[in-house]
Amino acid sequence: MSIFSRSVELACAVFAVASGLAVSSFSGYPARPDSPVREAISNTVATETPGRGAVAELEISSSLSAEPLPPAQGPRQTELFPDVQLVDQAGNQHLFRSDFAIGKVLCLAMFYTRCDGSCPGTISKVLKLRRSLTEEFGRENLHFVCLTLDPLHDQPEVLHRYAAALGVENDRNLAPIFFCTGTPENLNSLRRSLGMYDPDPAIDADIRQHAAKILFGNDMLNRWSGMPAGLPFEDLYETALRIAGTSERQKFSTRLAIDGRK
């Protein structure tokens, strides 16, 4: 297992324990010895020669199945998410579980508009992920949601100005992104169900000390996890595919291609 893969596994494990989310197992590669993913990387490493990086990447991708993975059976994590009412930057109302989570691939982050610490960097990563992940998943079943930690100040008109200053628009070329506010009670209930809180009440009450994390999930596969927003974009992108990818090819080809070129 590469150092990166191990660090991702540990980060996801820490997030899972802290949040209580039912996160699927996350490791460098599937454990089954007969896995087509393991076989693909083994064959590629065995036959790799200098200068064949692009060819190897094509061989790896084509050897992985593009068939959609079967939906998860049994209870889903989204059943534990409160269906609280939110309002976006355009003043439109939404129910979190019904509109953003059920049947969707979701990327979510917490922020507030007056934040001058980690928030600008987090939102920048989210916007970059929006473009890259739209290319992977399409725009119909992929949603980006940014929840404010300062709802009394971050009313819809404030969120609208914030999004406009970032040049954010909801158009037909990218998956929709929603900067949302709501009542303090609803947002507190929601972020706790998502594991986006600190166990120390004093720290949790101080929004200046909030953790910079980005949550990824796919309801149909019942896979949810989060990563520190400060990680390099490439690591966040790979993690999003590993957690939310809908086929073996989508989930593993990026990492296998990287490892196959080493």
Q: Are 86 and 204 found together in one domain?
A: yes
Q: Are 89 and 208 found together in one domain?
A: yes
Average confidence (pLDDT) over 7-30: 39
Handedness of CA 131, 136, 139, 145 (dihedral sign): negative
**Phi and psi dihedrals of 178, rounded to 5?**
-125, 120
Helix (H) or strand (E) holding 124: helix 119-137
Share of the chain above pLDDT 90, in %: 65
Q: Interhelix angle for 36-47 vs 248-260, to 10°?
A: 20
Q: Are 66 and 81 found together in one domain?
A: no
Q: Are 208 and 98 found together in one domain?
A: yes
One-letter amino acid at 84 equals V
Total domain count for the chain? 2
Q: Are 55 and 158 found together in one domain?
A: no
Q: Are 161 and 58 found together in one domain?
A: no
Confidence of residue 130 (pLDDT cuts 50, 70, 90): very high
Hey, which residues does 209 pair with through a beta bridge? none
Average confidence (pLDDT) over 40-52: 39
Q: Are 191 and 131 found together in one domain?
A: yes
| Domain at 209, CATH number | 3.40.30.10
Question: pTM for the complete prediction?
Answer: 0.76
Average confidence (pLDDT) over 120-144: 94
> How far does Cα 209 stand from its chain's mean position?
21
User: pLDDT at position 39, please?
Assistant: 41
Tokens of 115: 């934040």
More confident residue, 140 or 15: 140
Share of the chain above pLDDT 70, in %: 73
Average confidence (pLDDT) over 157-178: 91
**pLDDT for 52 beyond 60:** no
Average confidence (pLDDT) over 169-174: 81
Confidence of residue 256 (pLDDT cuts 50, 70, 90): low
User: pLDDT at position 63, please?
Assistant: 73
Q: Are 27 and 93 found together in one domain?
A: no
**pLDDT for 209 beyond 70:** yes
Most confident residue range from 3-7, 43-47, 145-149? 145-149
User: pLDDT at position 61, please?
Assistant: 55
Q: Are 14 and 132 found together in one domain?
A: no
Q: Are 164 and 117 found together in one domain?
A: yes
Q: Are 62 and 112 found together in one domain?
A: no
User: pLDDT at position 231, please?
Assistant: 96
Locus of tokens 């209930």: 189
Q: Are 54 and 107 found together in one domain?
A: no
Confidence of residue 169 (pLDDT cuts 50, 70, 90): confident
* DSSP assigned state of 181: B
**pLDDT for 20 beyond 60:** no
Tokens of 226: 């989060």
Angstrom distance (rounded) from CA 142 to CA 131: 11
User: pLDDT at position 50, please?
Assistant: 42
- Which residues constitute the domain of residue 210? 77-245
User: pLDDT at position 252, please?
Assistant: 86
User: pLDDT at position 162, please?
Assistant: 97
What are the pLDDT digits (tens) for 62-110? 678 889 899 999 999 999 999 999 999 999 999 999 999 999 999 999 9
Angstrom distance (rounded) from CA 11 to CA 183: 31
Total H helices, total E strands in the chain: 9, 7
